[in-house]
Amino acid sequence: MRAISGHESFIVDKIGYDKEGYTVYTKLGNGTETTYAYDKQRKRLLSMNLTLNGLCESY
């Protein structure tokens, strides 16, 4: 997805999925990377880690 402005920039740069179609990785245009982990049986989100400029936040 690209922003509409005077210059080209990406809002969402990359999205990664596992074999079942769940999002496991995203990279935004500002460099923020997010990884997701899911419970294998229930398919519920277990954790989400955001990284930007070497700083990591886990939820």
At residue 2, the pLDDT reads 58
Q: Which two tokens stand for residue 56?
A: 């990591």
Query: Tens digit of pLDDT for each residue in 2-58?
Result: 556 667 778 999 999 999 999 999 999 999 999 999 999 999 999 999 999 989 999
Q: How far apart are CA 48 and CA 46, in angstroms?
A: 7
Closest CA to 33 of 9, 15, 19: 15
Q: What is the pTM of this model?
A: 0.79
Q: Which two tokens stand for residue 4?
A: 């509409």
